[in-house]
Amino acid sequence: MPEIREIIFYGKSGDGIHTIADQLVQRLIRRGLYVISYPPEYDPERRETLAKIHVRVSKEPIHIRVP
């Protein structure tokens, strides 16, 4: 079983948390790592609510597909 690191971002929606997570994912992919990112867990119509974004990183393919 591959070693998988999980990073969870917490923040308010509208504060750029999704942009920060996307930038991290792109940089990790460029380094040759396998990455899975899940969309924020919040209602998109609601402003300034708590958002939670899951990012998984591994040197081998990741087969876990749920946050």
The pLDDT score that the predictor gives to residue 64 is 82
Determine the Cα–Cα distance for residues 32 and 18; give it in Å rounded to an integer: 22
Has residue 18 been placed in a domain?
Answer: yes
pLDDT tens for 25-67 read: 999 999 999 999 987 766 566 667 788 889 999 999 998 887 7
Predicted confidence (pLDDT) at residue 4 exceeds the cutoff of 80: yes
Which structural domain range is residue 37 located in?
4-58
Number of domains in the chain: 1
Query: What are residue 53's DSSP bridge partners?
Result: 9
Return d(Cα 55, Cα 21) in angstroms, integer: 8
Instruction: Let me know if residue 24 belongs to a domain.
Output: yes
Instruction: Give the ranges where the chain is alpha helix by DSSP (H).
Output: 17-30
Confidence at residue 40, expressed as pLDDT on a 0 to 100 scale: 73
Per DSSP, 33 falls in state -
Coil, helix or strand for 23? helix
List pLDDT tens digits, range 8-18.
998 887 788 88
- Which H helix or E strand runs over 53? strand 50-58
